[in-house]
Amino acid sequence: MRSSNAVANVEFLTDAFETIQSLLAERIHDDSFAKFTMAYETFNTIGMEHTCDVGQKPENRLKNRYQNIMPYDHSRVVLPVIDNDPDSDYINANYVASHRSPRGYIATQGPVPASFTAFWRMVWHTKADAIVMLTQEIEAGKMKCHRYWPDASSTPSTPRDVYGPITVTHILSEAHPHYLLREFRLECGRESRLVRQYAYLSWPDHGTPLTTDEMLHFRHAIRASGDRSTGPMIVHCSAGVGRTGTFIGLDAAIEQCLDGIGPIDIGALLVKMRHARNYMIQTDGQYLFLFQAVQNAIAVLLADDAQRADGGSGGERQRGRQGRRHRQRRARAGGVSRDVQQLDERVGPEAVG
């Protein structure tokens, strides 16, 4: 955690871990997910009172990947109008608040050809320096996200391309075990910026990742790369709701933990996201995965702070007790992983996220 008070950190994290553990124990009994699913379904109508008039305009139809996933008017990203075209301010994207900023994230769809220019204009206008891509271009034989970036491996080779007023140059592509890192130089007028895209490769065509470790390492790589204070983190999958909502919920909860801002209420996070963009966290399997991932992240943070707290007083016996408690917490959290897999098998493929 970012606080130097390791003892207070341990108390905060222990409370957060045990709260999540208690809630899961209350809602999951003997491999029955009925109570958990019922709790998830109470969020179904959250945010549905918000209008989506701009996205439904005929002039914007081709800019939407799915005609049933529209951005809410009140939270949509509004771009500067260009060439006196009032519809040039539109992109299928919404701001989502973090605990630090009302515009901490942007949740958006995987761009379609008609929205490529709007996407890069959004990156530039919002001063974003990180794009998180949670889908592959093609999954199960279906186009999930068009290649909206220039790429030397494309046919024909296109390491540099122009999107309206913005020139994008692909300067780096680096393979990691579960994700690809791409780096782009954006130029507009006399100004230039570097933007990184983190493309996660291990989310299956449907459901959730098999373990939380890969996702937590992926999230850590993004956060460790630099300060996001210059602009929001842009997150997209295919529709920009299922996987996107799960990742934003995970990152937001961990950031709260790191700053010691409580309580860590995953249900409240979902309510906030659903008011910002419809269908965020699309299945109860994704919702359960979010609980598991947050709990495992807390267990790791707790082990680190417990070791720091013990360091001042010394004592191998005390550190041994803390280590055993940490392993017990990870074991309890690991039980949730099996629950997620069982729930995924029951609910089947996710719709469009």
Distance CA 224, CA 259 (A): 16
CA 335 to chain centre: 23
> Which residues share a beta bridge with 111?
none
- What H or E segment, with its residue span, contains residue 133? strand 130-133
Q: Is 257 a catalytic residue?
A: no
Catalytic residue among 52, 145, 188, 237: 237
DSSP 80: P
Q: DSSP labels for 93-150?
A: EEEE--SS-TTSEEEEPPP-GGGHHHHHHHHHHTT--EEEE-S-SEETTEE-S---S-
Active site residue ranges: 237
